[in-house]
Structure 1
Amino acid sequence: AHDTASPVKPDAVFPNNWVTFHQEGYMVTYPMFAPTRRLERSDAIIDTVLEQGYHSEKRICLENNEAKNIFLEGTGSIIFDHQNRLAYACLSQRTDADLLEELCQQMGYQKVVFHAVDANGQDIYHTNVMMALGETFVVI
C-alpha cells in the first residue's frame, strides 16, 4: 500500500483494515469509519494480489454499510482464529456486532464479541490494539 500526493491518506499503509484475503478464497472489503480511510480502497492493490496468484472464490463486499453508519474495519476490528473458525471482536463504533455476525455466517466462523475500555474509560476502537493471537497463545 502507498499514499498519493492528493488526497493525502496517512493510514494507507494499513490496507488490512479495508481488505482481507483468506486461505479459503474469500476476499472481503470492509466499511471504514473515517471518510479519509475510505479513500484508501484501491482496485490496483486487489489486482496486484490477484496477479501474484491469489485465487478468489468469493468476494464479500461490506463497504455499502458505510451509508448506514455501520462499520467493521477488517483485521483491526476482527482477530480471526482460522484453526478454530472463531472471529474475536471488541465492539466499538468501528466494530458492529450484527455486521460481524453476517460476515461470520458467510465465512463459516463463530463470532466472539466483548467490550473493552482503556484507562480513561474510552472504548478501545480496534481489537488488534488490545489482542493478538498465535498458534499456541493469546495476548490481551
Structure 2
Amino acid sequence: PMYSRNRRRERRTDVIEMLKAEYRVQDVVDYSGLEHDDIFLEGTGAMVLDHVTRIAYTARSRRADPVALERFCTHFNFEPMCFDTADSN
C-alpha cells in the first residue's frame, strides 16, 4: 500500500500477469486494500530487509505503519524492528 496517491498509479498488473505466464507463481501477496484504512507500507521505500538475520528495519512514518509491518513480517517470516527517528531540530 502506497501513501502517495499518485504513486498508486504505478502498479502494473500487466507485469504480474506476465510473470504468471512465464513462471509458476503460487501466491501474489497484495496489501493494497489497507490503503482504504490509511495504513501503508511502501516496501523497499520504507523498509530495509536483512535477509540473513530475517529482520525488517523500518522507521515509523506515514509510509510505514507498524500494523502493516507486522502483517508483512508474519507472512514472510521476518522480525520487525520499527523505530522512531529524529533530527537536530
For the aligned pair, the TM-score class normalised by the smaller chain equals 0.7 to 0.9
Query: What percentage of aligned pairs have identical amino acids?
Result: 31
CA offsets, 1:40-59, max 9 Å, x none?
Answer: 11112223444554x43322
1:97 aligned onto 2:48: no
Structure 2: gaps (5+ residues): none
Superposition RMSD in Å: 1.7
Between the aligned partners of 1:48 and 1:85, the Cα distance in structure 2 is: 29
1:70 aligned onto 2:39: yes
Q: 1:106 to 1:95 in 2, by over 3 A?
A: same
Deviation at 1:118, TM superposition (A): 3.9
Deviation at 1:83, TM superposition (A): 1.4
1:41 aligned onto 2:11: yes
Structure 1: gaps (5+ residues): 1-30, 122-140
| Higher RCO structure, 1 or 2 (CA under 8 Å, sep 6+) | 2
Task: Give, as a single letter, the amino acid of the residue that structure 2 aligns with 1:82.
Answer: H
Between the aligned partners of 1:74 and 1:56, the Cα distance in structure 2 is: 20
Q: 1:52 to 1:116 in 2, by over 3 A?
A: farther
Partner SS for 1:79:
strand
Query: TM-score, normalization: structure 1?
Result: 0.57
Query: TM-score, normalization: structure 2?
Result: 0.86
Task: Give, as a single letter, the amino acid of the residue that structure 2 aligns with 1:44.
Answer: D
Task: Summarize the alignment of residues 25-64 of structure 1 with structure 2, pairs less than 5 Å apart.
Answer: 31-51=1-21, 53=23, 55-64=24-33
Partner SS for 1:66:
helix
Between the aligned partners of 1:83 and 1:58, the Cα distance in structure 2 is: 23
